Structure 1
Amino acid sequence: MEHLDVLVVGAGISGIDAAYRLQTEHPQRTYAILEARDAIGGTWDLFRFPGIRSDSDMFTLGFPFRPWRSSATISDGDSIRAYVRDTAAEFGIDRRIRFGRRVTAVAWSTQQQRWEVQVQADARTEHYTCRFLYLGTGYYRYDRGYLPEFPGIDDYRGTVVHPQHWPQDLDCTGKRVVVVGSGATAVTLVPALAERGAHVTMLQRSPSWLISLPGTDPLADRLPGWAHRLIRWKNVAVTSAFYEIAQRLPGVARKLLRAGLERQIPDPAIIDRDFTPRYQPWDQRLCVVPDGDLFRAMRSGRAEVVTDTIHTFTGTGIRLASGRELAADVVVTATGLQVQVGGGMRITVDGREVDPGRTLVYRGCLLSGVPNLALCIGYVNASWTLRADLTARYVCRLLAHMDAHGYSSATPEPSGDVGERPLLTLTSGYVQRAAGVLPKQGRAAPWLMRHSYPRDLLSTRFADVARDMVFTARPMRRAPVPVDAAAPDPD
């Protein structure tokens, strides 16, 4: 049974970031990364559907310790995957990764003051122990996307594919493709498939808010490498400002987004019907359309958007509630994700099973009642990496505090009634379905998860790490020698 100071689960953006911070700020500690798949990249290695790209700008999605150097603001999946892989190689992190190892269960022992970790590696089971466990596993299932029950789908004779498991040999050239969904995946797929020669219909039950942004940042080519940090902060400021406007003045945000749509779609009736959501901006994530590629595909005649509901599948397509039938050779079910915590592993503390959905999240990364465990949960209104890096830095600060005071474990415990509310406040389907799965948050710090990078940056560096935290002193390695009161003072 191998023992390490820290075990990181997941070799995606979260895991690579955590590893860098650990080996930079705590070089004396031993650590390893356990990755269930056979490659680095996490989400960016899993998703391979046509057109896969970032839905956040790359200057904030990139690591702060290795800034994104390209001028591409919205980048393709292959480039992101290579960037994450090259970052791991540059800092020697790739040598710490154990591939093909899926963590199935973790058990904390108060007596031993450590985690016991059970790992499935092909046909065998491995066991590790560690003092601290860091879960960089994201919050959705890799093996299965969400697929609602569609009436008549068994009668359909065409090809049905979920974007999470895109067949690499699927050729859509000259075919009629219906993409069911209106989120970021659907908005990405439609122009990509149209460009590859398919005729694509995006079938949406209701519209999403779309925003067209430049695919490149001209400043990136004009400024030296160090100035990319300025671009990062510029993008943080712009994103944060618009989110605050949407939260405080939703009517203003709606007008701004509509004005952007009017520059792409001259017919206001189409905007009213197909591009005006029922929810307020930022009640769900905005869908970015780089360089207006979706609208360009619509103008070319290779793509259309239909707002309707599915009555039933037929042998050759989909019949809608309006009576219209969409002929389809391929149906892409861009219907969302299934949410889980910790990659679905079983978590126990002294034999008591922990249901993450019944815990409270502490400073956005620790769980109430669970010692020495952190998990990475990204922002809903900004790039994942911004929050991932703050989480890794906070964990390093907590470990340093424990070292300085001789503590072996740290367990967040509310000091009173801190309230309870959903962790993610979005109205997106995958968030609503996960209401009982994800941890909850409180109504005030340190139990409140604020989606504000500038404020979280300050709290990561300066917040009291001992607040609402129960520490256990590290046991002495040997019993103290009793002092004979009658013995003479050696001095």
Structure 2
Amino acid sequence: MPTSHSVAEEPLLDVLIVGAGLSGIGAAYALQERCPGKRYAILEAREAVGGTWDLFRYPGIRSDSDMYTLGYGFKPWKNPKAIADGPAIRSYIEETARESGILQHIRFGHEVVGATWSSQEAYWTVEAKHRPTGSSRTLRARFLYVCSGYYSYEEAHRPEFPGEEEFQGTVALPQFWPEELDYSGKRVVVVGSGATAVTLVPAMAQSAAHVTMLQRTPSYIVARPSEDAIAAKLRRYLPARLAYRATRWKNVLQSIVLYRIARSKPELAKKQIVQLAQRQLGPSYDVGTHFTPSYKPWDQRVCVVPDGDLFQAVREEKATVVTDEIEGFTATGLRLKSGQELPADVVVLATGLKIKLLGGMKLNIDGRQVEPHQTMAYKGMMLSDVPNFAMAFGYTNASWTLKADLTAGYVCRLLRYMDRHHIDIAVSRKDEQVEPEPFLSFTSGYVQRAQDILPKQGSRRPWQVYQNYLQDLLTIRYGRIADGVMCFGPKGVMP
């Protein structure tokens, strides 16, 4: 492989996709189906497809969304498990890329460093580092489509605790799980109460001596069947594709209704969720301390446990939940602020993600550096004043793929519109009278820590981020392309 490539050696692409995870493969499929004449490539920093589902290898790794909505609309999920494990999801993404001929368009080991837009030429010049060799590569594309997710693959949120150097056991991070770690017969403490922690605890409890989930504050945790009984019945009586679509829509509508009830009647929803936990754990268990959050449902994501596996581990006394704060490490475990000592051979810090927007790439528009936090998100998928650009950013209250699919469809509609009208540049222009609001309304720590890097949403459409599939379906799939906010122009002049 050559150590570097000049601009002249690379043909001008119509679309450059960044990231070969769930969103990137879905975007490529949409392009092939709806814009078959477009020349595209995918840059993937790692050496495999799958994104999140290839990166995370910790025990029990699984989805916390059902696969009938997390899966692609065009490729039925055939595995009976609705809440699927990481390897199954990774295989599904790989299979999609292979069957669709997408693999040949992926350039693995290429990390995008920066992208520069020229209105004079009406294309992006993208600089990528080839990780295996350290060389750089330059590509040009008329449209830049970022599908790199929202968090750093290289760095997790990792708080430091007093006395860590004294600890004689092992400290592990879920994002960088050590393959050689053997926790069989050992005492494990998992620090955290989010989706990762509630996945790790029952998985590790199968072979550990005991697992303690140490949480500073509780999260909402709901048990769901790992298999969808209605989906199974539909598969018996309907063709596979029709059964999949029916299940997909059933789950979409169900999630919307439940979310609306939770947000409109939070105290009722809270009472119901806590009662369900009590039913799982028995009448004598202290759910008030360990399973009753102080915030409203969906102020943070609700955690799903398939077949109530976490509750089962607690019932069987293979796992314990402790609600307290860490004062520091000791040689043999953790000392808590209450004075309690937690013995541990292994401490897993499931303390959250670190948000990293656009894969960390720097954007430059005609010599001006773009600061994403100073932009506003158009329909939750484009940035104000950034031309010929889109990003996949899924839902926080439903499956990521639902919004990513809508975004891919919109990008194809936009490209076809530009072709029909011989347009070179498309850019959303922000009305200064639109009031900025936080891009995400979540109170989760990883969101709050990233307020200074996330773009804003606006006080009215098309700048609002709905977190509602039906509203987005109407706005994104059926809304007008030329809506007065999206501006168009020829090469050489920024509209």
The TM-score by the shorter chain falls in which range?
A: over 0.9
Aligned equivalents of 1:69 and 1:20: distance in 2? 19
Aligned equivalents of 2:361 and 2:94: distance in 1? 25
Partner of 2:221: 210
- Give 2:388's aligned amino acid: N
Is 1:21 matched with 2:38?
Answer: no
- Give 1:208's aligned amino acid: S
Aligned equivalents of 2:49 and 2:478: distance in 1? 33
Partner of 1:12: 21
Structure 1 residue 70 displacement after superposition: 1.9
Kindly indicate whether the alpha-carbon contact (under 8 Å) linking 1:71 and 1:218 is maintained by their aligned counterparts in 2.
no
Kindly indicate whether the alpha-carbon contact (under 8 Å) linking 1:419 and 1:443 is maintained by their aligned counterparts in 2.
yes
Structure 1 residue 474 displacement after superposition: 4.4
Aligned equivalents of 1:269 and 1:315: distance in 2? 31
Aligned equivalents of 1:475 and 1:310: distance in 2? 59
SS of the aligned residue for 1:141 comes to strand
Query: How is 1:98-109 mapped onto 2 (pairs within 5 angstroms)?
Result: 98-109=107-118
1:410 to 405, 426, 445: 426
Structure 1 residue 90 displacement after superposition: 1.0
429-438 vs 262-271, which moves further? 262-271
Query: How is 1:345-424 mapped onto 2 (pairs within 5 angstroms)?
Result: 345-424=361-440
- Give 1:300's aligned amino acid: E
200-209 vs 339-348, which moves further? 339-348
2:486 to 469, 475, 488: 469
Structure 1 residue 269 displacement after superposition: 5.2
The runs of at least 4 aligned residues of structure 1 exceeding 3 Å deviation read: none
Give deviations 1:122-145, integer Å, cap 9, x for gaps: 321000000000000011000111
Partner of 1:157: 168
SS of the aligned residue for 2:151 comes to coil
2:449 to 433, 437, 440: 433
Is 1:232 matched with 2:232?
Answer: no
Aligned equivalents of 2:209 and 2:101: distance in 1? 43
- Give 2:173's aligned amino acid: H
Aligned equivalents of 1:235 and 1:469: distance in 2? 33
**Rg (Cα) greater in structure:** 1
Aligned equivalents of 1:423 and 1:196: distance in 2? 41
- Give 2:74's aligned amino acid: F
Structure 1 residue 442 displacement after superposition: 0.1
Structure 1 residue 197 displacement after superposition: 3.1
Identity, % of aligned pairs? 53
Partner of 1:62: 71
Q: How many residues align?
A: 476
Aligned equivalents of 2:232 and 2:267: distance in 1? 36
2:50 to 38, 41, 57: 41
Aligned equivalents of 2:298 and 2:139: distance in 1? 42
Kindly indicate whether the alpha-carbon contact (under 8 Å) linking 2:217 and 2:293 is maintained by their aligned counterparts in 1.
yes
408-417 vs 439-448, which moves further? 408-417
Kindly indicate whether the alpha-carbon contact (under 8 Å) linking 1:176 and 1:327 is maintained by their aligned counterparts in 2.
yes
- In the alignment, structure 1 segments of 5+ residues that lack a partner are 477-491
- The alignment yields a C-alpha RMSD, in angstroms, of 1.2
Partner of 1:137: 148
Give deviations 1:311-351, integer Å, cap 9, x for gaps: 11111110000101101111000000000111111111111
Give deviations 1:411-433, integer Å, cap 9, x for gaps: 11123411111111110000000
Kindly indicate whether the alpha-carbon contact (under 8 Å) linking 1:60 and 1:235 is maintained by their aligned counterparts in 2.
yes
Structure 1 residue 268 displacement after superposition: 5.4
Aligned equivalents of 2:458 and 2:351: distance in 1? 30
SS of the aligned residue for 1:129 comes to strand
Give deviations 1:266-288, integer Å, cap 9, x for gaps: 13551001000000000000000
Aligned equivalents of 1:290 and 1:166: distance in 2? 22
SS of the aligned residue for 2:183 comes to coil
Is 1:259 matched with 2:268?
Answer: no
Structure 1 residue 169 displacement after superposition: 1.2
Partner of 2:4: none
Structure 1 residue 102 displacement after superposition: 0.4
- In the alignment, structure 2 segments of 5+ residues that lack a partner are 1-6
